Structure 1
């Protein structure tokens, strides 16, 4: 089933790319969601509408969780569900950047089993199915083998380096880099382009689900900020931060983080 679901997600992601790229980014209609939930564009909604019609039609027994669909509790009774971010990095999309992505995943009983992250403006398609490895444009990928934090390049927003998040207030030394899309950051770690990814704020499942499987199938470790495995289809679809890296760097980051820190406010 993961292999069949993966091909379904790949085909849907390619179609999503065709739809999104019809819009010109900075001229696409944009507005802010209520409650400070961030921006949305007409492209987000057009992609979501296609995916919400296409994917459940192909898998009528699956639940549905998407950033651009009002959530309801019906998904909680489903063994399998789609977890979708129609456009991850909406601000980048609206600015005309190329670093936004479509993030599509299937989870079964809380574990992601098929995943795609597609960046149509960069022609990058990351994919993974449970037990079958991870790929970029069809070629196998592996996480970095770097084993020391001092030589590591970690994808992280600057607020993650606040001393209050680290044991004894001592922020470890590593090279910090940044990309605006959470899904893309995870995919880059799976590719081995960077050695780790860190976000300490509560994170939506749709931003993380696809990248979680890609990291794990690429030989890495993906957990919440306390080092616990990620589980999906929660009643409140938010995760307690994310640490993603090769095994050695992941272990060091987890050990250096203060487990008593409350995280970054969303």
Structure 2
């Protein structure tokens, strides 16, 4: 992926999924131990949980439509773990934000963590509403 030029896999353009209903979505959701109420609320709405264990990979999977969203409420996600995957996801038509729906900004300190939501643009506001 190159900013402003799209995202590709094996020279073919990739795109986020077209799923529009949470009930039909598959998402990676992290933070059950950190914020069980918030995570379980969204977990009851989605069709399937997938936990791959690699944030950059999960963001890329959102970008190519293999999963419909990636949610991490732990506040531990570092820029070094997310930046490349965020670029792929956004260039493929995805939306990446903080838990309030605002642009995700990482501090200069690389060890400081953040929470994020990454989905296709149709699901994004629905996920944010459930997380509030």
Range of TM-score over shorter length: 0.7 to 0.9
Which residues in structure 2 correspond to 1:98-113 (within 5 Å)? none
Residue in structure 2 matching 1:173, options 17, 42, 45: 45
Residue in structure 1 matching 2:61, options 179, 188, 202: 188
Over the residues paired in the alignment, what is the CA RMSD in angstroms? 1.9
Question: Offset of 1:137 from its aligned partner?
Answer: 2.1
1:118-157 deviation line (CA, Å, top 9, x unaligned): xxxxxxxxxx111100011221100001011000000123
Partner of 1:89: none
Q: Which moved more, 1:171-180 or 1:195-204?
A: 171-180
Partner of 1:20: none
1:23-80 deviation line (CA, Å, top 9, x unaligned): xxxxxxxxxxxxxxxxxxxxxxxxxxxxxxxxxxxxxxxxxxxxxxxxxxxxxxxxxx
Question: Offset of 1:216 from its aligned partner?
Answer: 0.8
Residue in structure 1 matching 2:84, options 210, 215, 240: 210
Answer with 1 or 2: which has the greater Rg.
1
Residue in structure 2 matching 1:236, options 109, 113, 130: 109
Which residues in structure 2 correspond to 1:139-154 (within 5 Å)? 139-154=12-27
1:253 paired to 2:127: yes
1:137 paired to 2:19: no
Corresponding pairs, count: 127
Question: Offset of 1:236 from its aligned partner?
Answer: 3.0
Which residues in structure 2 correspond to 1:58-77 (within 5 Å)? none
Which residues in structure 2 correspond to 1:21-60 (within 5 Å)? none
> Aligned to 1:221, what secondary structure does the other structure show?
strand
1:145-202 deviation line (CA, Å, top 9, x unaligned): 1011000000123617721x26xx8444211111011111011110101111111112
Residue in structure 2 matching 1:222, options 96, 99, 103: 96
- CA 1:157/1:170 → structure 2, altered by over 3 Å: closer, same or farther? closer
5+ unaligned residues in a row in structure 1: which ranges?
A: 1-127, 259-266
- Indicate conservation of the 8 Å contact 1:225/1:240, yes or no: no
Name segments (4+ residues, structure 1) moved above 4 Å: none
- Indicate conservation of the 8 Å contact 1:200/1:242, yes or no: yes
5+ unaligned residues in a row in structure 2: which ranges?
A: none
CA distance in 1, matches of 2:72, 2:41: 17
CA distance in 2, matches of 1:247, 1:235: 28
TM-score by length of 2: 0.86
TM-score by length of 1: 0.45
Higher RCO (C-alpha under 8 Å, 6+ residues apart):
2
